[in-house]
Chains A and B, each alone.
Chain A
Amino acid sequence: KQEVTQIPAALSVPEGENLVLNCSFTDSAIYNLQWFRQDPGKGLTSLLLIQSSQREQTSGRLNASLDKSSGRSTLYIAASQPGDSATYLCAVRAVTGGGNKLTFGTGTQLKVEL
């Protein structure tokens, strides 16, 4: 059974810092991995999608890497801003079971302070 873990569970940083969020998964047979952002009381906003054949994806100040063989992904946020404060979730689409669903981590709650 695929399990996804995110570390740390919560993180508080001053504005301007570069930071790294970690995601690990137990079954490396995946189609892809997706990073999401969730603001309080809101749905999920997709940030980046990395296919299993890719090593990284970039969007603006965000960079996500994938090391499928070791079951790890990191989300790098450059020059953090208060508007980045949210919960960040990673999710994998496993081959086992047909690849029909995402299995989510429990998230990292990020607070960027002025």
Chain B
Amino acid sequence: GAGVSQSPSNKVTEKGKDVELRCDPISGHTALYWYRQSLGQGLEFLIYFQGNSAPDKSGLPSDRFSAERTGGSVSTLTIQRTQQEDSAVYLCASSPGTQRNEQFFGPGTRLTVL
């Protein structure tokens, strides 16, 4: 079946602009995760959704970052007033829902802030 998909695959934006990144999880997966991979920080957790609610937002680096999930499926990560330090690869993952389950990752969105 189809895996996790993300769009766009690449995004170049100017400092100060807002961007939206999209994630389509594997059908039926109730849990969805966003991670960020940057050269200096490695792979870091951002936010976790169970259904449409986000019980763990502890990894969001600032209030410029927000995410939502609708219909228990698609999720959007929004970064407002982008800064150069936001440049990274943003990865989305999904899993069937419990802590014991494997997480499956999408191909990522490479964000470059000029």
Which of chain B's residues has its CB closest to A45's CB?
B105
* A80, CB-defined interface residue at 8 Å: no
Flag if A43 contacts B106 (CB, 8 Å): yes
C-alpha spacing A32/B102, complex, angstroms? 9
Flag if B108 contacts A46 (CB, 8 Å): no
Chain A contact residues, majority secondary structure: strand
C-alpha spacing A75/B40, complex, angstroms? 25
Flag if A43 contacts B43 (CB, 8 Å): no
16 more A-B contacts (CB under 8 A) besides A100-B56, A104-B43?
Answer: A31-B100, A34-B103, A36-B105, A41-B110, A42-B108, A43-B6, A43-B108, A44-B91, A51-B100, A89-B43, A99-B99, A100-B48, A101-B56, A102-B35, A106-B42, A107-B42
Closest Cβ of chain A to B53, distance in Å, is 12
Q: List 19 A-B contacts (CB under 8 A).
A: A34-B102, A41-B110, A43-B4, A43-B6, A44-B91, A46-B104, A46-B105, A93-B99, A95-B99, A97-B56, A98-B99, A101-B33, A101-B48, A102-B33, A102-B35, A102-B93, A104-B42, A104-B44, A105-B42
For window 81-114 of B, CB contacts with A under 8 Å fall at 91, 93, 99-100, 102-108, 110
**Interface size counted on chain B using CB atoms at 8 A:** 25
Inside 8 A of A41's CB, which chain B residues have their CB?
Answer: 110
Chain B contact residues, majority secondary structure: strand
Q: Known interface pairs A97-B56, A100-B48, A101-B56. Does A46 touch B107 (Cβ–Cβ under 8 Å)?
A: no
**Interface size counted on chain A using CB atoms at 8 A:** 27
- Most A CB within 10 A of own CB, among B33, B43, B58, B91: B43
C-alpha spacing A107/B41, complex, angstroms? 12
Flag if B45 contacts A101 (CB, 8 Å): yes
Which of chain B's residues has its CB closest to A43's CB?
B107
* B59, CB-defined interface residue at 8 Å: yes
